[in-house]
Amino acid sequence: MLSSPTTPRTALILRWITAGPLAIIAAVLTMASTPLWLPKGAAGVDHMILPIILFPAFWAIFFFYALIEARPIRALVIFAVVMLANAVVIYLQF
């Protein structure tokens, strides 16, 4: 397995960026797009409270993934893909 080409200082900065601001942004975008990909409720109403309740879980998943990932650049790319996918889902709704 190849090691990461980043220096320890760069890896620390990338982890700080992904675990901090990018984790909260990814969690907010995921929370905002959740009613769009969840099935409709029994009365045909979109789920509104479930994404709010799940927000801490979304944030924790993103935060701990950023800390656990061996290669911080991969975490950064995965966060970018997740945020872009959620932004596209939100954009296509309107």
Q: What is the pLDDT of residue 3?
A: 57
Q: What is the pLDDT of residue 5?
A: 63
The answer for residues whose C-beta is within 8 angstroms of residue 40's C-beta and 6 or more apart is 46
Rounded Cα distance, 5 and 56, in Å:
33
Pick out the chain residues at pLDDT < 70: 1-5, 44-46
The answer for residues whose C-beta is within 8 angstroms of residue 32's C-beta and 6 or more apart is 51, 86, 90
Q: What is the pLDDT of residue 92?
A: 94
Long-range contacts of 60-64 (CB under 8 A, 24+ apart): 62/22, 62/23, 62/26, 62/27, 63/19, 63/23
The string of pLDDT tens digits covering residues 60-74 is: 999 999 999 999 999
Q: What is the pLDDT of residue 22?
A: 95
Q: What is the pLDDT of residue 94?
A: 82
Rounded Cα distance, 70 and 28, in Å:
24
User: Residue ranges per domain, the chain?
Assistant: 8-93
Q: What is the pLDDT of residue 44?
A: 66
